[in-house]
Amino acid sequence: MGTPNAVARDYYGILGVSRGASDDEIKRAYRKLARQYHPDVNPDPEAQEKFKEINAAYEVLSDDQKRQIVDLGGDPLAPGGGGAPGGAGPFVGFQDIMDAFFGGAGGGAGRGPRPRTRPGSDAIIRLELDLNETAFGVEAPITVDTAVLCTTCSGAGTAAGTHPATCDACGGRGEVQSVQRTFLGQVMTARPCTVCSGHGSTIPNPCGTCAGDGRVRTRRSLTVKIPAGVEDGMRIRLAQQGEVGPGGGTPGDLYVEIHERPHDVYSRKGDDLHCRVTVPMTAAALGTRLTIKTLDSEEAVEVKAGTQPGSTLRLRARGVPHLRGTGRGDLYVHLDVRTPTKLDGAQEQILRDFAKSRGEEVAELSKQGGFFSRMRDAFNGHG
């Protein structure tokens, strides 16, 4: 076998297995090396060469005919060496590379049956909280409706004393192969078995509680600890409190999404709070003392004489505690100055006298029919 100048490669040595290695040993050795030298994992150009070698060795040793050629001292991949032309092309052993990386468990051609037990999915619930609760934290009782492990069959899905049966349709492989003729020749395709949904087995006597799913839906009550300073829209993750997977698989996580109810007095921006307080014009002019209700208690604050409409008082560290680190946001009190709307005769006179004392001009609107009627008169030339 082989051309005279071709030295047969040591395929057993490349995979590091003995000449008597079983198919399984060869496969294991190949997967291990392929993981180590795959170009996606190992960018070293030498690793690339090594990866090609490993693939070639596996192609040869996993094929009975080619392995026989090797055992007889030949090289099935050498030019004219009696092997298939093309050698270790890019598609050689592709499925096995997939297997090596995606954990397939099947033989040479297939991926094998799909396990019945699969991880569960995550779940999410909304939790409505008041500002006091998001600000200072709370232990909130929640009720979740998720799939949980079926305790009757412990997730197996089978009725007591029974077992799954190998699927007749696929013989337990979980997939059905078919041969199609194309211009490239015969192409083997495999699709999941529809009888067993790819599991390779059926459950002839399903558990009466879960109908074979290994899990049941139920309502559970649990308590979630909400830390101080959470914000609207944040999610708290409770590991493995989500849905149990089919066949009793590991539960997913449960996410609790915080929704903060609007507050009567405060609006929240990050950890700062804002509120509006109305003060009479006279208080704004003369100064006053206000009692502000904070999240914690009540606090007296001073409004300075001559305060303008729209001014803001800042109460440091009276906002929401920071979720990360220490300290708190601030409380901003926005001051609205209210102008009196109904004045009796005496009050009006006082204000007029006050304006006069400051040299401010005040028109006598009430006696002239108001501002707009004066405007009209002015335009009509009656003014």
Neighbours of 297 (CB within 10 A): 8
Dihedral angle at the C-alpha atoms of 367, 372, 377, 379, nearest 10 degrees?
160
DSSP per-residue string spanning 199-232: SSEE-SSB-TTTTTSSEEEEEEEEEEEEPTT--T
Decide whether 148 or 150 has the Cβ nearer to Zn ion: 150
Find the shortest distance in angstroms from Cβ 212 to Zn ion.
7
Find the shortest distance in angstroms from Cβ 172 to Zn ion.
7
Find the shortest distance in angstroms from Cβ 115 to Zn ion.
14
Find the shortest distance in angstroms from Cβ 162 to Zn ion.
11
Q: Of 241, 233, 163, 260, whose CA–CA distance to 202 is shortest? A: 163
Q: Which two tokens stand for residue 123?
A: 């779940």
Decide whether 96 or 213 has the Cβ nearer to Zn ion: 213
Position of tokens 């395709």?
189
Decide whether 243 or 260 has the Cβ nearer to Zn ion: 243
Find the shortest distance in angstroms from Cβ 101 to Zn ion.
25
Decide whether 109 or 375 has the Cβ nearer to Zn ion: 109
Output the furthest CA–CA distance in the chain (Å, rounded): 127
Q: How far apart are the first and last CA of the chain?
A: 124
Q: Which two tokens stand for residue 356?
A: 């006069």
Q: Of 326, 197, 321, whose CA–CA distance to 268 is shortest? A: 321
Contact 237, 152 (CB under 8 A): no
In 3-state terms the chain splits into helix, strand, coil percentages (rounded to 5) of 25, 25, 50
Find the shortest distance in angstroms from Cβ 103 to Zn ion.
20
Decide whether 160 or 286 has the Cβ nearer to Zn ion: 160
Decide whether 42 or 205 has the Cβ nearer to Zn ion: 205
CA–CA distance, 304 with 311 (Å, rounded to integer): 11
CA distances from 279 to 136, 285, 306, 315, 331 (A): 30, 10, 12, 17, 18
Decide whether 149 or 331 has the Cβ nearer to Zn ion: 149
Find the shortest distance in angstroms from Cβ 150 to Zn ion.
3
Find the shortest distance in angstroms from Cβ 148 to Zn ion.
11
Decide whether 114 or 334 has the Cβ nearer to Zn ion: 114
Find the shortest distance in angstroms from Cβ 220 to Zn ion.
17
Which residues are at the interface with Zn ion (CB under 5 A)?
150, 152-153, 167, 169-170, 193, 195-196, 207, 209-210
Radius of gyration (C-alpha) of the chain in whole angstroms: 41
Distance of CA 280 to the CA centre of its chain: 51
Decide whether 216 or 238 has the Cβ nearer to Zn ion: 216
